[in-house]
Amino acid sequence: MKLAENKATLSFSQGGAPIELPIYKGSIGPDVIDIRKLYAQTGMFTYDPGFLSTAATQSAITYIDGDKGELLYRGYPIEQLATNCDFLETCHLLLYGELPNAAQKAEFTSRVTNHTMVNEQMQFFLRGFRRDAHPMAVLTGLVGGLSAFYHDSTDINNPKHREIAAIRLIAKMPTLVAMAYKYSVGQPFVYPKNHLSYAGNFLHMMFATPCEEYKVSPVLERAMDRIFTLHADHEQNASTSTVRLCGSSGTNPFAAIAAGVACLWGPAHGGANEACLNMLEEIQAMGGISKVGEFMEKVKDKNSGVKLMGFGHRVYKNYDPRAKLMQETCNEVLTELGLENDPLFKLAKALEKIALEDEYFVSRKLYPNVDFYSGIVQRAIGIPVPLFTAIFALARTVGWIAQLNEMISDPEYKIGRPRQLFSGAVKRDVQPIGTR
Ligand code: SDX
Please work out whether the CB of residue 312 comes within 6 Å of at least one atom of ligand 1: yes
- Look at residue 152 in the predicted model and tell me its pLDDT: 72
* Centre of ligand 1 from the C-alpha of residue 253, in Å: 29
Is 86 catalytic? The answer is no
pLDDT of residue 23: 96
Pocket residue to mutate for ligand 1, from 278, 364, 396, 400, most atoms within 8 A of Cβ: 364
In this prediction, residue 41 carries a pLDDT of 94
> How far, in Å, is the centroid of ligand 1 from the Cα of 352?
15
Q: Tell whether ligand 1 has an atom less than 6 A from the beta carbon of residue 370.
A: yes
- CB 317 less than 6 A from any atom of ligand 1: no
313 Cβ closer than 6 Å to some ligand 1 atom: yes
Is position 269 annotated as part of the catalytic site?
no
Q: Which of 78, 302, 311, 396 to mutate to test the pocket of ligand 1 (most atoms within 8 A of CB)?
A: 311
Q: Is 236 in the pocket of ligand 1 (CB under 6 A)?
A: no
Question: Ligand 1 mean position to 313 CA, how many Å?
Answer: 5
307 lines ligand 1 (CB under 6 A): yes
The model's pLDDT over 16-59, given as tens digits with 9 standing for 90+, comes to 889 999 999 999 999 999 999 999 999 999 999 999 999 999 99
- Confidence category of residue 1, pLDDT binned at 50, 70, 90: confident
Ligand 1 centroid to Cα of residue 423, in Å, is 28
SS3 letters across the chain? CEEEEEEEEECCCCCCCCEEEEEEECCCCCCEECCCCHHHHHCCCCCCCCCCCCCCCCCCCEEEECCCCEEEECCEEHHHHHHHCCHHHHHHHHHHCCCCCHHHHHHHHHHHHCCCCCCCCHHHHHHCCCCCCCHHHHHHHHHHHHHHHHHHHCCCCCHHHHHHHHHHHHHHHHHHHHHHHHHHHCCCCCCCCCCCCHHHHHHHHHHCECCECCCCCHHHHHHHHHHHHHCCCCCCCHHHHHHHHHHCCCCCHHHHHHHHHHHHCCCCCCCHHHHHHHHHHHHHHHCHHHHHHHHHHHHHCHHHCCCCCCECCCCCCCCCHHHHHHHHHHHHHHHHCCCCCCHHHHHHHHHHHHHHHCHHHHHCCCCECCHHHHHHHHHHHCCCHHHHHHHHHHHHHHHHHHHHHHHHCCCCCCCCCCCCCCCCCCCCCCCCHHHC
Question: Which one of the listed residues 92, 134, 231, 313 is annotated catalytic?
Answer: 313
Judged against a pLDDT cut of 90, whether residue 398 lies above it is answered with yes
* CA 101 – ligand 1 centroid, Å: 38
Judged against a pLDDT cut of 90, whether residue 155 lies above it is answered with no
For ligand 1, say whether the CB of 258 is within 6 Å of any of its atoms. Answer: no
pLDDT digits (tens, 9 = 90+) for 238-266: 999 999 999 999 999 999 999 999 999 99
Average pLDDT estimate for 152-172 = 90
Which residue's alpha carbon is nearest to atom 42 within ligand 1?
A: 364
Residue 272 C-alpha to ligand 1 middle, in angstroms?
10
Tell me, using a 6 A CB cutoff, whether residue 243 lines ligand 1. Answer: no
Which residues have a Cβ under 8 Å from the Cβ of 148 and sit 6 or more positions away? none
Q: Are 94 and 398 a contacting pair, CB within 8 Å?
A: yes
User: Which residues are CB-neighbours of 26 under 8 A, at least 6 positions away?
Assistant: 1, 32, 58
pLDDT of residue 16: 86
